[in-house]
Structure 1
Amino acid sequence: MKSISAKVSKGITIGTILKVADNSKAKFAKVVAVYNYKGVKRRYAKAGIGDLVAVSVIDGDLSLVGKVSKAVIVRQRKEYLRREGIRVKFEDNACVIVKDDIGTPAGTIIRGPIAKEVTERWAEIGKIASIIV
């Protein structure tokens, strides 16, 4: 996985409910696991901007509810530090559901802004984003 230019503080743990920011027929998803997390035994896995997580869809189309899929976190409430010294935070926690490990999005458009750090790691998501902050 490619590195990010910012020092991202991990603000999302297992059990966090995320808003789905794309048009993949899912509205809300719950974080089930964090891929590539290496931590202490019996500690909840944490994720931040640009991390790949496994989510379970909890609201949306009935064919998707209860299904586990992969997602990339594009917004988080917890502030993080950019290299220029700017602290960035968003008003909600949001993700984009992806089809594979490369980062091909399941939807065709992304609602709302996404972080610049996401486009550094996941170019496919950056192509369909309307607002990059």
Structure 2
Amino acid sequence: MGTVLKVADNSGAKTVTCIHPARGKKVARLGDTIIASVKELHQKKGERILSANNTGDHNVKAYKVKKGEIVKAVVVRTAMPFSRRDGSVIKIDENAVALLNKHQDYRITKKRNLHKGRRAGRPIGKRVFGPVPYELRKKWMLAVLTLAEDTA
């Protein structure tokens, strides 16, 4: 639905707009995968932005995504409060996502068997900024948890 989300990784995108949640859901909650469109890119002072395949000046910063590109993302923070089993309630002030690549990921289950993941796989960025709730572990988003600087 048109929700503007902050990008929590260093893939180069600043904001994305949710097109629709993946797998036929009506709403996306923490750990769900969404389809999004990149709306805004980060730009440092005095730098021009090019996509990763363009070449040019030495002061040009190349990003892994382009404006208007359709990407998959996992929701890492929501403004809607969620409760844990111990009775505590977690509420974060913003909605944020981490961008994912478009390839299917192979995850290891508890039985140590490889199975094809239901969501697109690995994060595009190398770091995830801000707090990331521990509940992503239940959704098999361990790669995002590993890259996060703070686990709430």
TM-score normalized with structure 2 length? 0.71
Deviation at 1:31, TM superposition (A): 0.3
Highest RCO, 1 vs 2 (Cα 8 Å, sep ≥ 6): 1
Q: What SS is found at the alignment partner of 2:10?
A: coil
Deviation at 1:62, TM superposition (A): 5.7
| C-alpha distance in structure 1 between counterparts of 2:126 and 2:3, whole Å | 25
Instruction: Give every structure 1 segment of 4 or more consecutive aligned residues whose post-TM-superposition deviation is greater than 6 Å.
Output: none
Structure 1 position 48 matched with structure 2 position 29: yes
* AA at the equivalent of 1:106: I
Instruction: Describe the superposition over 1:62-83 as per-residue Cα deviations: whole angstroms up to 9, x where unpaired.
Output: 6411010000000000101111
Structure 1 position 28 matched with structure 2 position 15: yes
Partner of 1:84: 86
Structure 1: gaps (5+ residues) = 1-13, 39-44
| C-alpha distance in structure 1 between counterparts of 2:146 and 2:78, whole Å | 20
Q: What is the Cα-based RMSD across aligned positions, in Å?
A: 1.4
Q: What SS is found at the alignment partner of 2:145?
A: helix
Structure 2: gaps (5+ residues) = 42-48, 52-65, 106-120
TM-score normalized with structure 1 length? 0.80
Given that residues 37 and 46 in structure 1 are in contact (C-alpha distance below 8 angstroms), is that contact kept between their aligned partners in structure 2?
Answer: no
- Alignment coverage as a number of residue pairs: 114
Give aligned-pair identity as a percent. Answer: 33
| C-alpha distance in structure 2 between counterparts of 1:25 and 1:69, whole Å | 13
